[in-house]
Chain A
Amino acid sequence: MKNHYILRTLFFLSVFIAISSCGSDDSQDYKQISPVNIDLSTVPYPKLSDYKFFEGEMKDLKPAYKVLPYDLNSSLFTDYAHKKRFVWMPEGAKATYTADNKILEFPTGAVLIKNFYYDNVLPNNTTRIIETRLMIKKADGWIFADYIWNDEQTEAFYSLSGGFTQISWTEGNVTKSANYRIPPESECFTCHKHSTTALPIGPKPQNLNKDYNYANGSANQLTRWVQEGYLTNNVPALITTTADWTDTTKPLELRVRSYLDINCAHCHSDGAHCDYRPMRFAFSETTIPANLGICVAPQEIINTSLPYIVNKRNAVKSVMRFRMNTINETQRMPILGRTVIHTEAVALIDAWINAMDAPCP
């Protein structure tokens, strides 16, 4: 779906001017400087607080100056964890748009910050931040860093060893629990790569092209990134855009393709971890039915009752649905990042497959 971006740009510009002209620290000879401290020769730091990404109590995740929150149209399912994402770039550096479906070309020194947390955590219905994952772009490429929050939620400490932490929470009056997986570096790289090069997954124009409710009002994220000086001003007016898969006003197939892109395409694309299987789940490739596995026989036979990856009008006999609906480690998909079943997504896939036009021949 092509979404208009230029009108929002104009709208945002006017809002931005209005706000900035009456800002309290808009002194002629005062230039605000980001407190964020990134020395590429010494990162990753031992503690999350060393970066100074947040102001006030760190657990409030209130971004410091030039730490910009962002969101994606659809996001990876990680055992129902909630996420807050931020981006920071050195002064004067900006990312470059290359294509709607390609990761923005980030400048050296850029940092992507992703906090994983749960609300209504038992027994006291508190918020618990588990980890803050960073990707930092050095001159020779992206590195990973992960910071594990302490029980007091006052600090997070560097570790790329991975582990598990037990968590129970309530969501919509339902109590859920998971043995939450904190990934070791090798697992980060398994998803975040093209062949042998580490890469982010989310910040593509197709995923960023949406409104975000900033502290000073709602604005299109790409527009705001341009205004912030974080993105080159060559973003096309029309962007082929993914949808929020939970938005039931959107067409079913668009929601499915959006979900599969962010949850599956990092392995099932050319150059990715599992490109030797036939599926191609990137949003830009799923306009072709065979890339979705529709009426395509699987290479790994799990059960002879599952003849196709997507068995039209027969979700329960589809490999895709079967793999999404199991926690068996050798059968579940995605293979990393999930230990419980994403039942809402299974329902989405069921609805999509069972409403297809005719059975596979």
Chain B
Amino acid sequence: MKQLFTLALFSLACISAGAQTNCDNAPVVTPGIHNVSFAQGSQAPLLMCFNALPGATALGAWYKYIPDNDYSVTLTTNVGGYPLSDTRLNVYSGSCNNFTCVAGDDDSGGSATSLVHFDVVQGTTYYFAFDNIYSSDDFVFNLTEQEFVPSLFTQRAISLQGTKWCIADMNGDYLDDIVAVEGNSVNLLTQNTNGNGFTPVSYQFPAAQNSPTWSISAGDYDKNGYNDLLFGSSGGASIILASSNNTGFSNVLDSPESIFSQRSNFVDINNDGNLDAFVCHDIAPNVYFQNDGNEGFTYHQGGLGDYGSGGNYGSIWIDYDNDGDIDLFIAKCRGGLNEAGIDELHRNNGDGTFTNVAAEAGLADLHQSWSAAWGDYDNDGDMDIMIGNSAGVYGDNSNLPDSLKQHKLMRNNGDGTFTNITSGSGFDTFTSSNLVHVAHDFDNDGYTDVFCGANTIMHNNGDMTFSPIVITAGSGPIGDLNNDGFLDIQNDNYIYLNSPNGNNWIKINLHGVASNRNGIGARIELYGTGQGWEKQIRDVKSGDGFYYMSTLNTHFGIGTLDAIDRVVIKWPSGTVDTIENPAINSALLVTEGTHVLGTKQLNATAFAVYPNPAKEVLNIKSVVSFDTTKASIYSIDGKLVKSATVQDAAIPVQHLAKGTYIIKVQDKSGKQYSATFIKG
């Protein structure tokens, strides 16, 4: 064996003869095994095409590869029969003085060897650059070409300084931008209008007490048309308010007390049309900034997860009981097997209060979780849950039942309860424990998948079973970074562009008026026929998974469906917009109240106003009594123009200017209704 190996090396040395000390003198290689040694004076590659550990590199070894056809290519330094070394590799295209990252890896090959898969284009020059950061020993690599099969995700490097945990539209064009925070700067890569690339822009904000060290969220807190940012750190939370003219950030709101922040969310907790800022507290009851509607807040602690020593990690706001208001689920985690680790589900009572109903829902488990991914995985019209398992079975956790030592898939029974259907679902055999779990339809087949970290998308097979698909990206913010309708993933300095597969899609962009500007908390329903489902649903949310903020735009994949029957937006205000036959493979912008069905189409018990148009008085028609409650009237651009007391189910409107308005009324139980009307 040893003799054979020597011979092999000798013959390889002949094949690989020639300088390999820098990019310019890199020898050309073809598929096969090649010997690598680091020469003194060689040039170390500096551009890292993956999230490399920091550390200085001294020497490099360079190779050039020009494929004679389009291929999918594998390069590994783990080659049977040869000694293994702790290698590190970057693959570039471009020219020696202007590289473009193609791939990179440290240890994926096992035993500290490197392994990369990437797609190549005929005639293009690729550079393989190894460095000796961990070992200067000789090694070999094996280059193999396979039939071209497009990668699911294509890696691209980005250049942006700061903590890159957020994808959100920051300049009001509904295209997803990449947000970084560095000191007192927000550094943006704003997506170009054609979806092709980004334009950098940087803004300073006034000094804030907190940075996004534990989580970040985006939403239009001050309702001025530009998204604001919420930073959660171990010392507190800060809201960074964007100016109304897209010129940066003008104001900062700091929490008045220490918060050990975990997941944070923008959400309109009291449904007054203004987003509040909720922060999970690791070691105390949860807190929130209640928006005063005037760029200020009242700080609250209590009522939304009150366990004394916390345990709150992954908050996510969804409507689990389909009653039209937003509920709160908290994935919890805590050592010592105490109640701080029991997950909570806070049902919105519709009157500004919440009740923890986890026990009756079947979710009050002591399950060590940092996040839960909510989605209607079986497209039956209610939200199911995948609750991620963060931990192993050590110490006291060993005493837990087996069902709590793994990921959990819980089917919504439609009656406020959930059934554990993990067994046989694929989540029982996917044992990698993770912190971040999010629900998206990555392949636009009409069934929501779960991205689980560990480079794994659990693909929804459409029958409540899931299969792991390993991708090159790890957990990170998610959005459509090239406006092609397929959701992309960002990891620090790299974006991973999802390759379109021919499936159709639609994305819904919301402009709230009486509701919060982003439509956070809205339920979106999509109706279609012919794909095995009748309806898909999404709840618009700011802040899912754990650390990251993903797009506020709502994506639906519709498989091979070439037409959508209709899209229904159920806004937090109660307004319902219905869009018949929206165009597919494009974005649909819906302004609240602009697609409301006529009163004849509403059922008799619903809320309606008449006459419409109205001149003097607007009358309310409903089975509910609205006497001696407040009504708010908004202009179509979201400005509150009139507050009035409802007298005899009527409101005077003679002083309003002509135009379209939205009226919002709260009944005596606290439930809110709204409708659009025209002032004639």
Contact = CB atoms under 8 A, between A and B. Distances in A.
A181 B336 CA distance: 26
A280 B335 CA distance: 13
Interface in B498-549: 547
A307 interface: yes
Given A186-B283, A189-B309, A299 B391 contact: yes
B547 A316 contact: no
Contacts of B635: none
A317 B234 contact: no
A329 B233 contact: yes
B283 A187 contact: yes
Interface string B284-320: 1000000000000000000000000110000000000
A280 B258 CA distance: 29
Interface in B410-431: none
B117 to A, nearest CB: 15
Contacts of B233: 329
A270 B310 CA distance: 19
Contacts of B309: 186, 189-190, 196
A164 to B, nearest CB: 7
Interface in A279-327: 280, 299-301, 303-307, 314, 316-317, 322
Contact of A190 (B52, B283, B333, B392): B283
- By size class, the interface of chain B is 35 or more
B213 A328 contact: yes
Contacts of B390: 276, 299-300
A190 B338 CA distance: 13
User: What DSSP secondary structure best describes chain A's contact surface?
Assistant: loop
A329 B232 CA distance: 11
Nearest to A164: B235
A314 B107 CA distance: 13
A161 B235 CA distance: 11
A184 interface: yes
B213 A278 contact: no
Q: Which size class do A's interface residues fall under?
A: 35 or more
B395 A316 contact: no
B214 A329 contact: yes
A66 interface: no
B53 A306 contact: yes
A301 B498 CA distance: 23
Contacts of B86: 314, 317
Contacts of B474: 301
Contact of A329 (B134, B234, B337, B396): B234
A295 to B, nearest CB: 13
A277 interface: yes
Contacts of B337: 195, 271
B402 interface: no
Contacts of B391: 276-277, 299
Given A275-B335, A301-B453, A329-B234, A270 B260 contact: no
B213 A305 contact: no
A273 interface: yes
Most buried by B among A189, A305, A307: A305
Contacts of A306: 53
A267 interface: yes
B454 interface: yes
A141 interface: no
Contact of A187 (B53, B134, B260, B547): B260
B258 A162 contact: yes
Nearest to B211: A329
Contacts of A162: 235, 258
Given A181-B235, A186-B283, A304-B106, A195 B52 contact: no
Contact of A305 (B52, B260, B282, B368): B52
Contact of A303 (B51, B112, B338, B392): B51
A351 B135 CA distance: 18
B392 A305 contact: no
A196 B397 CA distance: 16
Nearest to B213: A329
B322 interface: no
A272 interface: yes
Contacts of A303: 51, 53
A314 B111 CA distance: 12
B433 interface: yes
A291 B282 CA distance: 26
Given A273-B336, A276-B368, A305 B453 contact: no
28 contacts: A161-B257, A186-B260, A186-B283, A186-B284, A186-B309, A190-B309, A196-B338, A267-B335, A271-B335, A271-B336, A271-B396, A273-B336, A274-B335, A275-B335, A275-B395, A275-B396, A276-B391, A277-B391, A277-B392, A280-B395, A299-B433, A300-B433, A300-B435, A301-B453, A303-B51, A304-B107, A307-B107, A316-B55
Interface of B: 51-53, 55, 86, 106-108, 112, 134, 213-214, 233-235, 257-258, 260, 281-284, 309-310, 333-338, 368, 390-392, 394-397, 433-435, 453-454, 474, 547
Complex A-B, nearest 10 residue pairs according to Cβ-Cβ distance, in ascending order: A276-B391, A195-B336, A275-B335, A329-B213, A275-B395, A186-B283, A270-B395, A305-B106, A162-B258, A186-B284
